[in-house]
Amino acid sequence: MINGEGRRAWPLWEVFIRSRNGLHHAHVGSVHAVDAEMAVENARDVYTRRGEGVSIWVVPSAAIVASDPGDKESLFDPALDKVYRHPTFYEVPDGVSNL
Amino acid sequence: MSRTSDAATPSTDAHLALADGCLIASHRLSEWMSNAPTMEEDVALGNIALDLLGQARGLLQAIAEDTGRTEDDLAYFREAQEFRNPLICELPNGDFGHTILRQFFVDAWLADVWPALAGDPTVDPRVRGVAEKAVKENAYHLRHSSTWVLRLGDGTDESHRRMTTALDALWPYRGEIASDAWYARVEPILAEATLDIPPRDAWTQRSSADGWHTEHLGYLLAEMQSLARAHPGATW
């Protein structure tokens, strides 16, 4: 029924799976579904068949706000030369046993 | 009667009916592979078919052990009249709505069968093991089919019409699987789906308990069994 001739396409949903308790939900892909309940069921059927998850989030793809690829340089390049933002930049002082 | 009768006990007969029901329902759902309305639904029906196949195998293995055969003997080398599945499981898929309503009726049946077996300490532990796993699988199957019945019944004019046609066609096959609990499960969903519920005492088909089947089972078995019969003992 998706994108068939003269038929309405089903909305797209983004799927996030939490693989274990304590971890965060991670984006795994998308499904088509007519409503939220079907989106959860479809996500379960498509993305958790091999024990990948303990929790599912679905979000209408239309609700995702994305950064503009054209802004890539201004958004991300300035971070490239700030090595001091990485914890590995700093030497651990003597006497600090747990950090 | 059939060649299963020598070693069969009453519970074996009941377990065989259940095993065959799951096996044949699984095969019917598998016929949707690559043909479901959406890719997501294709995977969903495939998952359900595989769950049902796993349930059937667990039971067939237990029955085979007790009767000196193998699960393949039972699945691939019995004739149609030796199968004990409820007739509704073998009915052709029809359109998607027909398949969904058939599966809904089967799921609602198994929703009573599995918990009863899982919770009965007198049941064979192998069967109970299958049942304990199946309770969870069935809960999802029933959720899947119920939500589709609601969507299609209370959907567009066309989907409602198709569901009404499916209900008329399938209601006469409820006899082997219906109980008070089954009606209590099925009727509220049909009502919410805005479908007219046929009467409980309407005519129903006879059961397969004595080996009578619809004409459709033979064709199904011809396909399901052809590989194993062409290459006996083959493994894959």
Question: The domain spanning residue B95 has which CATH number?
Answer: 1.20.1260.10
pLDDT band at B8 (very low <50, low <70, confident <90, very high): very low
Mean pLDDT of chain B, nearest integer: 93
ipTM of the complex in this document: 0.76
pLDDT band at B10 (very low <50, low <70, confident <90, very high): low
Instruction: Record the tokens describing residue B228, joined without a space.
Output: 């194993």
Under 8 Å CB pairs connecting chains A and B tally to 32
Interface contact flag, B40 A32, Cβ < 8 Å: yes
- What's the gap in Å between the CA of A2 and the closest CA on chain B? 7
Give the nearest chain A residue to B35 (CA atoms): A1
In this complex, which of A37, A45, A49 lies closest to B40 when CB atoms are compared?
A: A45
Helices (H), chain B: 10-30, 39-67, 71-76, 87-90, 96-118, 125-153, 157-170, 180-192, 216-230
CA distance B107 to B134: 11
In this complex, which of B43, B140, B151 lies closest to A46 when CB atoms are compared?
A: B43
Our count of domains for chain B comes to 1
Residue B91: half-sphere exposure toward Cβ, Cα within 13 Å = 21
Pick the closest to residue B205 from B214, B196, B217 (CA basis): B214
Hey, of A8, A34, A42, which one would you mutate to test binding to chain B, going by the most B CBs within 10 A of its CB? A42
Each residue's pLDDT tens digit, A42-94: 999 999 999 899 999 999 999 999 999 999 999 998 888 888 888 888 888 88
CA distance B215 to B32: 20
Tell me the DSSP string of B117-173: HHT-TTS-HHHHHHHHHHHHHHHHHHHHHHHHHHHHHTS-HHHHHHHHHHHHHHGGG
pLDDT at A33: 95
Single pTM value for the model? 0.86
CA distance B179 to B109: 8
In a domain, B1, yes or no: no
- Residue in this structure with the two tokens 């918990």, named with its chain if needed: B115
Hey, of A38, A40, A47, A49, which one would you mutate to test binding to chain B, going by the most B CBs within 10 A of its CB? A38
Length of chain B: 236
In a domain, B53, yes or no: yes
Cβ–Cβ < 8 Å for B46, B34: no
In a domain, B5, yes or no: no
**Can you say whether the dihedral through the CA atoms of B201, B207, B210, B212 is positive or negative?**
positive
pLDDT at B3: 40
Each residue's pLDDT tens digit, B112-133: 999 999 999 999 999 999 999 9
pLDDT at B211: 84
- Residue in this structure with the two tokens 């995702």, named with its chain if needed: A64
3-state SS class at A3 = coil
- Residue in this structure with the two tokens 């052809």, named with its chain if needed: B226
In this complex, which of B37, B44, B147 lies closest to A1 when CB atoms are compared?
A: B37
Each residue's pLDDT tens digit, B166-191: 999 999 999 999 999 999 999 999 99
In this complex, which of A1, A32, A38 lies closest to B147 when CB atoms are compared?
A: A38
3-state SS class at B183 = helix
Domain that holds residue B28: 10-196+208-230
CA distance B9 to B123: 13
pLDDT at B59: 97
Phi, psi of A14 (to 5 degrees): -90, 140
Q: What is the mean pLDDT of residues B66-88?
A: 95
- Amino acid at the residue B82: E
Residues whose CB falls within 8 Å of the CB of residue A13, separated by 6 or more in sequence, listed in order? A30, A31, A32, A33, A36, A39, A42, A43, A58, A59, A60, A61
Instruction: Record the tokens describing residue A55, joined without a space.
Output: 């929790």
Q: What is the mean pLDDT of residues A17-46?
A: 94
Chain centroid, CA A37 distance in Å: 20
Residue A27's DSSP bridge partners are A16
pLDDT at B184: 98
Hey, of B29, B40, B150, which one would you mutate to test binding to chain A, going by the most A CBs within 10 A of its CB? B40
Interface contact flag, B40 A1, Cβ < 8 Å: no
Cβ–Cβ < 8 Å for A25, A1: no
Parallel, antiparallel, or unpaired for β A26-32 and A12-18?
A: antiparallel
Each residue's pLDDT tens digit, B131-148: 999 999 999 999 999 999
Report, in angstroms and rounded to the nearest whole number, the Rg of chain B calculated over CA atoms: 17
Domains and CATH numbers, chain A: 12-89 (3.10.20.520)
Give the nearest chain B residue to A36 (CA atoms): B147
CA distance A30 to A2: 14
